[in-house]
């Protein structure tokens, strides 16, 4: 699951996918993932897109392009002005449909982290099908990273909290791709098992 190879299924889509890869690589060029091995950040969006295309069987170029771009707006700007400028650039380069999907999976960094995480849970069921697929794939890759290569400063409680939160988010995203959903459940189960964690059952 860690293989960072994106197979472009139709040649007609290759220019768009390659343009997105080049754009995302440039935007993320100074960033690293939080894990102990500090891998280049660009590996993550490539892995998310690859998971969608090569495991889940998704072929929509809008979805795959947005998967490559999914952290660009959220993680490579420092102000609202920069965010707006980047949105205009993405719209011009990739079109409004890809921009809209990218924004649909982008957190509002003007809000505090606790509120952003709450909104991901609350808004999950209202997302488009493509946004749901992208977010499940993103959560799978994050769960895998935390299981295999956790950030050095994350203690067991923080890992447990992330697993529970991701599970709650994905609960509202289900019904769009059974392969992704089954893989998420498997990865989460293995992650909990590795750290000796149990699922918290929320009773209404």
The residues carrying an active-site annotation are 74-75
Q: Is 77 left (phi over 0), alpha (psi -120 to 50) or beta?
A: beta
> Cα separation of 153 and 151, whole Å?
6
The answer to whether the beta carbons of residues 139 and 166 sit under 8 Å apart is yes
Q: Which of helix, strand or coil describes residue 151?
A: strand
Instruction: Measure CA 60 to chain center.
Output: 17
Q: Which residue has the tokens 């996918």?
A: 17
Q: In b/e form, how buried is each residue of 67-98, taking b as 16+ CB within 10 angstroms?
A: bbbbbbbbebbeeeeebeebbeebeeebeeeb
Residue 148, CB half-sphere, CA atoms under 13 Å: how many? 13
Q: Which residue has the tokens 């069921």?
A: 125
Q: What is the DSSP letter of 13?
A: G
């Amino acid at each position: 699951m860690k293989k960072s190879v994106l197979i472009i299924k139709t040649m007609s889509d290759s220019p768009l996918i390659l343009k997105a890869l080049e754009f995302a690589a440039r935007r993320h060029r100074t960033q690293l993932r939080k894990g102990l091995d500090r891998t280049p950040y660009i590996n993550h969006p490539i892995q998310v897109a690859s998971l969608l295309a090569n495991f889940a069987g998704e072929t929509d170029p809008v979805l795959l392009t947005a998967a490559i771009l999914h952290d660009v707006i959220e993680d490579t700007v420092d102000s609202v002005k920069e965010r707006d400028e980047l949105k205009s650039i993405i719209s011009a380069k990739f079109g409004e449909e890809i921009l809209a999907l990218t924004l649909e999976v982008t957190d509002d960094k003007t809000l505090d982290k606790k509120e952003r995480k709450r909104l991901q849970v609350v808004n999950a069921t209202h997302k488009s099908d493509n946004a749901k697929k992208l977010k499940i794939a993103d959560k799978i890759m994050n769960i895998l990273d935390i299981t295999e290569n956790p950030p050095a400063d994350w203690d067991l409680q923080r890992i447990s909290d992330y697993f529970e939160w991701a599970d709650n988010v994905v609960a509202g995203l289900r019904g769009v791709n059974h392969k992704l959903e089954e893989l998420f459940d498997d990865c989460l189960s293995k992650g909990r098992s590795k750290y000796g964690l149990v699922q918290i059952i929320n009773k209404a």
